[in-house]
């Protein structure tokens, strides 16, 4: 194999876990909040960089969003990716996860052959974890989610999946799509050395609906089947109880409490 061609999907998100919700529009209020590269997408980029270090190849980062989403591509290029693709068009606005995945799939088809698509598990603004799997669906690729470790062996990806109560090892033939969690690695910092080259415009392609040759009826808000009925901030859970005393007393209190709650 002559090096890997890896595509990484990335998203620009607000820099906070504490985003306020506009009750009138049912949307996230992003004004005045700085934007960052979604943390688990950063893990996906790092995973791609590590695989490139081992096997050689090319890394293409792709994002969809308003024109300023180009900023996260700059960051990914400064981390060491080779090329960025920005999908931006008014026609894309309001896309739900399905139409986002569809639009990304059309752009990826246009990019040509690839060995591996890496995605962050989920974005910190929506937390849906849907785009990766849906993208695999549109591209008719096998998918492996929740990756905590990835290696490439003889044309296969060997992935360790971190599940809630178990660990699963999966061997899958390339090309495939893998979504990664934060446990997969510790992402490197982008380098100031790379800033000049990342920003000279030569390494970022910008595509709209026209370039993707997709009719506008299949894009954006109107094509999206998801309607947001209501969005709300979850109520804060009740405060926990702290048990004090010597270990023997504390154990007794704990057992009583658990029995009271029918948990024992």
Token code pair at residue 163: 């599940």
Q: What are phi and psi of 150, to 5 degrees?
A: -135, 135
| Residue 60 vs 78, nearer CB to other proteins | 78
CB of 203 to other proteins, least distance (A): 12
Any contact of residue 44 with other proteins (CB under 8 A)? no
Query: CA-CA distances (angstroms) from residue 170 to 160, 176, 178, 193, 241?
Result: 6, 12, 11, 37, 41
Binding other proteins (rule: CB under 8 A), the pick from 17, 113, 140, 192 is 192
Any contact of residue 75 with other proteins (CB under 8 A)? yes
Token code pair at residue 250: 């504390």
- Show contacts with other proteins in window 85-124 (CB under 8 A): none
Specify the stretch interacting with other proteins by CB under 8 A; choose among 59-67, 137-145, 153-161, 193-201.
193-201
Any contact of residue 36 with other proteins (CB under 8 A)? yes
Specify the stretch interacting with other proteins by CB under 8 A; choose among 71-79, 87-95, 118-126, 235-243.
71-79
Binding other proteins (rule: CB under 8 A), the pick from 98, 183, 199, 218 is 199
| Residue 188 vs 257, nearer CB to other proteins | 188
Give one DSSP letter per residue of 69-96, joined into a string.
Answer: GHHHHHHHHHHT-SEEEEE--GGGTT--
Q: Which residues of 142-152 are buried (b: 16+ CB within 10 A; e: fewer)?
A: ebbbbbbbbeb
CB of 15 to other proteins, least distance (A): 9
Identify the residue whose tokens are 């890394």: 59
| Residue 189 vs 232, nearer CB to other proteins | 189
CB of 119 to other proteins, least distance (A): 21
Could you give the CA distance from residue 47 to residue 223 in angstroms, rounded to a whole number? Answer: 33
Any contact of residue 196 with other proteins (CB under 8 A)? yes
Q: Which residues of 65-86 are buried (b: 16+ CB within 10 A; e: fewer)?
A: beeebbbbbbbbbbbbbbbbbb
# binding residues, other proteins (CB under 8 A): 16
Could you give the CA distance from residue 152 to residue 149 in angstroms, rounded to a whole number? Answer: 10
Quick check: bond before 175 cis, omega within 30? yes
| Residue 120 vs 190, nearer CB to other proteins | 190
Binding residues for other proteins, rule: CB under 8 A, are 36, 70-71, 74-75, 78, 189-196, 198-199
């Amino acid at each position: 194999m002559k090096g890997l061609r890896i595509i990484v999907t990335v998203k620009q998100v607000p820099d906070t876990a504490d985003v306020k919700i506009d009750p009138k529009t049912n949307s996230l209020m992003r004004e005045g909040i700085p934007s960052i590269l979604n943390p688990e997408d950063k893990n996906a980029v790092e995973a791609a960089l590590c695989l490139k270090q081992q096997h050689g190849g090319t890394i293409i980062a792709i994002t969809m969003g308003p024109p300023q989403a180009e900023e996260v591509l700059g960051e990914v290029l400064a981390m060491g990716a080779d090329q960025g693709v920005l999908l931006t068009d008014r026609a894309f606005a309001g896309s739900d996860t399905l139409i986002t995945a569809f639009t990304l799939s059309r752009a990826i088809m246009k990019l040509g052959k690839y060995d591996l698509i890496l995605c962050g598990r989920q974005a910190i603004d929506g937390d849906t974890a849907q785009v990766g799997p849906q993208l695999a669906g549109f591209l008719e690729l096998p998918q492996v989610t929740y990756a905590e470790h990835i290696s490439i062996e003889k044309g296969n990806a060997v992935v360790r999946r971190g599940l809630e109560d178990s660990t699963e090892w999966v061997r899958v033939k390339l090309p495939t799509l893998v979504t990664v969690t934060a446990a997969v690695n510790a992402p490197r910092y982008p380098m100031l050395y790379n800033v000049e080259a990342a920003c000279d415009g030569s390494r970022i392609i910008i595509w709209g609906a026209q370039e993707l040759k997709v009719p506008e009826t299949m894009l954006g808000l109107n094509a999206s089947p998801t309607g947001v009925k209501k969005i709300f901030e979850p109520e804060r859970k009740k405060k926990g109880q702290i048990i004090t005393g010597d270990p023997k007393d504390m154990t007794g209190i704990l057992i009583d409490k658990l029995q009271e709650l029918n948990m024992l």
